[in-house]
Structure 1
Amino acid sequence: MILILGGTTEGRIAASIVDEGEKTFYYSTKGNEQEIALKHGVRLAGALDKKELIRFCREKEIRLIIDAAHPFAKELHDTVYYAADELNTPVIRYERIYPKLDTDVDGIFQHLDYDGVMSSLREDKVRRLLTLTGVKSIAKLKPYWKEKGVQCYCRILDRDSSRELALKEEFPEENLVYDTPDESLDELLKRLRPEAVLIKESGISGGFLEKTAIIRQNKIPIYLVNRPQLKPSARTVDGEYGLRATIDEFLPQFFPLHTGISTGTCATAAARFAYAKILSPSPYVFIDKERIPVILPGGETIPVQIHSFSGSFSLRRIEATVSVRKNGGSDPDVTHGMLISATVSIEWDHTKEMRLLKEGELPEIIFHAGEGVGTVTLPGLGLEVGGPAINATPRKMIRENFEAVIERACVPIYSTPIHVTISVEGGKEIAARTFNPRLGIEGGISIIGTSGIVRPFSSEAFVNAIRKEMEVAQATGAPRIVINSGAKSERMVRNQYPDLPPQAFVHYGNFIGETIQIASELGIERVTLGVMIGKAVKLAEGHLDTHSKQVTMNREFLATLAHEAGCSDETVSAITQLTLARELWTLLTPSELTAFTSLLISRCAQHCQPLLPNGELTVLLISEEGVIYG
């Protein structure tokens, strides 16, 4: 049994993920204000002290606690960790993602606590303050706002419980301002004209970046209360993939399906660990089953286990090789179980001058194809012909993770290039069983990944998981369900439906037909299908399962479609030589693109609409840059 401490965005996501396990769990919040749809969860409301929490966990046989409460709920966190220690129950802390702050650039004055904030406000003679730290901070700031001559405004939620807390502390009611859609933060700042604004380190999900940007635009100093540091014994995650993987670790039988990691994530983990060892004061030390944090494209950090490490160090050259074993989760492909390695090397040429890099700069990274990684021989893949078949996303991941290594290492970094060679054990042999040769990738496999995570796409159990997600989405009462292939397309389509709850977005992977049929069986009346062009060209031909194992792009069909759309003979001829469907975005002229995408969407709808006979289906075609057609 799982207990979630929520009341936050992270709590809502955690509940949605745990709901997929189709087992009873408990979701606890202090109040009743948060609206959340739970299919298998039992809602609890009311604060629990240490004794009550211990009693509840014993009575309900809680085997795992997920602490997804607000980062500033220190008393609750202390209660959770005390109870967990008494019960010997593991705790997962679902933490927010916090942006890196450059206080010199951002104009932010940081403080550890409210006492430090009040001291600085007095020292800086700030007499007109706007606080965005919530109603509970009123009591903590009382010594300041009670001072003569201080005009303090506090923005709170427009609800009775918040007003009661404020008035209980004798805060002036006329100085309460409400967080409502009727007045934006920018409008509020222009109306109140505060000398400074106080905010909390609330993380990305708390709107921290948006708030600080608006405040800086108004050229107002920002005072920041740092989040309290939590007990390090809890396993910390900062996103849905890390949460799911950690639940798998503690309760292996909880989910019927398990996610895996892409070849790109394996390569990134190996490269990051190797580079960290190069910059380490003790590079030869290696602990068996050591883990390395890896930043995924969406900003989430997950731990990846290292399989092996070796290195050589001299005055002229330093090199480290690290291997990670690929885990495909419940959708094992040809690379599942293989060792993916990265060799990171730096060689000093003493005849050339080395420049000490400034903070934030990164040396040039040169990628190479090692044994088992293919070489690009044809254009159209977005990679240099003759270069290694390492896609753009893994390259970007490696760069971002190297930046994180440099930030943690605190050592001088010079302009000497970093060479990264990726290898795959047995990659040359298994490449023959893939479509890589048709794409012009020779000598091995390609290193790929868009989200960094492999969701299971090829089993009956995954279709059942889609059904569970659709049922949860329906339970929210959302007026529309939006189905997407994965995280990338979901991020792009979300802007079209900003008012829908997170549960209303469901990933179909490759099972477009099954997902729409499930929607029909559940009586869902409005469905939006978000599809990128690689899947759209297969769907338009009538293939409702778009997995590359089942169907490949049909150039002849695309050429016929282009001809029907009125494209020129030159364009039609060029389409027959395409390597990847995404080349269509640059191959077609603007007028041809308009006609072609319209016809493509129409054909997709023609095959999908009959699966939703009593509902309305909207098809949105998504470009690589996030432009929506439909």
Structure 2
Amino acid sequence: MIFLIGGTSEAVPIAGELAVRGMPVLLSTATEIPLHAPLPRGVQRRTGRLDREGMLRVIRAYDCRVVVDASHPYAAEVSRCARAAAQAAKIPYVAYERPPAVPPGAPVTRAADHLQASQAACACGVPVLLTIGTKYLEPYVTEAGRRNIRLVVRILDVAQSWTACRRLGLSATDIVAGRGRLDYEETLALLKDRGIGVLVTKDSGREGGVPAKLKAAEAAGCRVVVVERPARPRPAFRDIGALVDAVGYAWAEGVFPAEGRGPAKTT
């Protein structure tokens, strides 16, 4: 069995490609939110958050031979746990790394972490729109409160996200809930409607709607603060075909080409 850790829209296509090549796949997702596409034939799914020990139990229960990490580019803890679980189980680990969408030299402010991003965003003295999820809201709420800055938050419309916002005292009028990413027109309308002066985003790639955000911010005259990606364990591939080739090799040989055999190239 291939243990495929989801968290991106690419997880289902990766699962399908692996299954087509005759490799059984267990797709693991943290929540039961519907997938972006139907589950391919030959692919099982489990749901629920896992730490290192939980992943190791799954690996052993399903007799997994390879760990494929297709979690979100910013899910650093998930990737660390996946790598550690694979090492403990003595099986190969590889990650899919979604290509970034913020080009080098783009007119944005880059921040190493959310604390730095919150300070950069609120220093401008204008309303701020957060499109970063809800896990790291606290430094922004603290800094915005200290500077008396209006904070608008775009969230996934699920109970967990609402709970996080309410716990931090955010007003319902400053919470924009929805499913899926906003396109250019929707983002531009939101920026203008709320009088936003700074947009804060992660570089979640084209699939994460980053190009639309950058274009809308430029049209609305907004500054952009980008939270940099955390480092990802290696080997990591940005091309799904190359990833699947490497997993197929590991399935047969018990080692990835990047670990010393075969021609595949990591990024």
Q: TM-score range by the shorter chain?
A: 0.7 to 0.9
- State whether residues 203 and 229 of structure 2, in contact with CA within 8 Å, keep that contact through their aligned partners in structure 1: yes
Aligned twin of 1:210? 212
Structure 1: how far apart are the matches of 2:239 and 2:9? 11
For residues 70 and 91 of structure 1, do their structure 2 counterparts lie closer, same or farther at Cα, with a shift above 3 Å needed? same
Q: Which amino acid aligns with 2:218?
A: R
Aligned twin of 2:257? none
User: Which of 64, 68, 71 is the matching residue for 1:62?
Assistant: 64
Shift in Å at residue 230 of structure 1? 1.5
- State whether residues 7 and 34 of structure 1, in contact with CA within 8 Å, keep that contact through their aligned partners in structure 2: no
Structure 2 gaps of 5+ residues are 255-259
Aligned twin of 2:125? 126
Aligned twin of 2:81? 79
Structure 1: how far apart are the matches of 2:174 and 2:91? 45
**Structure number with larger C-alpha Rg:** 1
- State whether residues 102 and 210 of structure 2, in contact with CA within 8 Å, keep that contact through their aligned partners in structure 1: no
Shift in Å at residue 108 of structure 1? 0.2
SS of structure 2 residue aligned to 1:131: strand
For residues 56 and 290 of structure 1, do their structure 2 counterparts lie closer, same or farther at Cα, with a shift above 3 Å needed? closer
Structure 2: how far apart are the matches of 1:68 and 1:191? 35
User: Which of 230, 233, 244 is the matching residue for 2:232?
Assistant: 230
Shift in Å at residue 67 of structure 1? 0.3
Structure 2: how far apart are the matches of 1:236 and 1:253? 18
Aligned twin of 1:159? 158
- Larger RCO (CA within 8 A; separation ≥ 6): 2
The answer to whether the aligner puts 1:243 opposite 2:243 as a matched pair is yes
Structure 1: how far apart are the matches of 2:74 and 2:142? 20
Aligned twin of 2:20? 20
Aligned twin of 2:134? 135
Aligned twin of 2:90? 88
CA deviation map 1:295-324 (0-9, x unaligned): xxxxxxx629xxxxxxxxxxxxxxxxxxxx
Structure 2: how far apart are the matches of 1:290 and 1:29? 31
Aligned twin of 1:303? 265
- State whether residues 97 and 205 of structure 1, in contact with CA within 8 Å, keep that contact through their aligned partners in structure 2: no
Shift in Å at residue 83 of structure 1? 1.0
Structure 1: how far apart are the matches of 2:75 and 2:40? 23
Q: Which amino acid aligns with 2:129?
A: L
- State whether residues 135 and 162 of structure 1, in contact with CA within 8 Å, keep that contact through their aligned partners in structure 2: yes
Shift in Å at residue 46 of structure 1? 0.5
SS of structure 2 residue aligned to 1:146: helix
Aligned twin of 1:9? 9
**Equivalent residue runs for 1:330-345 within 5 Å:** none
RMSD: 2.5
For residues 210 and 149 of structure 1, do their structure 2 counterparts lie closer, same or farther at Cα, with a shift above 3 Å needed? same
Structure 2: how far apart are the matches of 1:60 and 1:290? 27
Aligned twin of 1:39? 41
SS of structure 2 residue aligned to 1:14: helix
- State whether residues 153 and 175 of structure 1, in contact with CA within 8 Å, keep that contact through their aligned partners in structure 2: yes
Q: Which amino acid aligns with 2:6?
A: G
Shift in Å at residue 100 of structure 1? 5.7
SS of structure 2 residue aligned to 1:209: helix
Shift in Å at residue 45 of structure 1? 0.6
Aligned twin of 1:324? none
CA deviation map 1:422-448 (0-9, x unaligned): xxxxxxxxxxxxxxxxxxxxxxxxxxx
- State whether residues 2 and 23 of structure 2, in contact with CA within 8 Å, keep that contact through their aligned partners in structure 1: no
Structure 1: how far apart are the matches of 2:192 and 2:142? 27
Structure 2: how far apart are the matches of 1:37 and 1:114? 34
CA deviation map 1:199-242 (0-9, x unaligned): 101112212122111211222110110010112xx321112211
SS of structure 1 residue aligned to 2:252: coil
Q: Which amino acid aligns with 1:303?
A: K
**Equivalent residue runs for 1:108-119 within 5 Å:** 108-119=108-119
CA deviation map 1:452-509 (0-9, x unaligned): xxxxxxxxxxxxxxxxxxxxxxxxxxxxxxxxxxxxxxxxxxxxxxxxxxxxxxxxxx
Shift in Å at residue 164 of structure 1? 2.3
**Equivalent residue runs for 1:413-562 within 5 Å:** none
Shift in Å at residue 140 of structure 1? 4.3
SS of structure 2 residue aligned to 1:33: coil
Shift in Å at residue 169 of structure 1? 2.8
CA deviation map 1:103-157 (0-9, x unaligned): 3xx32000110111123234x3334101111222323423223325110001112
Q: For this pair of structures, how many residues does the alignment match? A: 256
SS of structure 1 residue aligned to 2:39: coil
Structure 2: how far apart are the matches of 1:90 and 1:141? 38
Question: Matched residues, percent identical?
Answer: 21
Q: Which amino acid aligns with 1:210?
A: A
For residues 6 and 205 of structure 1, do their structure 2 counterparts lie closer, same or farther at Cα, with a shift above 3 Å needed? same
Structure 1 gaps of 5+ residues are 255-287, 292-301, 305-630
Aligned twin of 1:177? 176
- State whether residues 107 and 216 of structure 1, in contact with CA within 8 Å, keep that contact through their aligned partners in structure 2: no
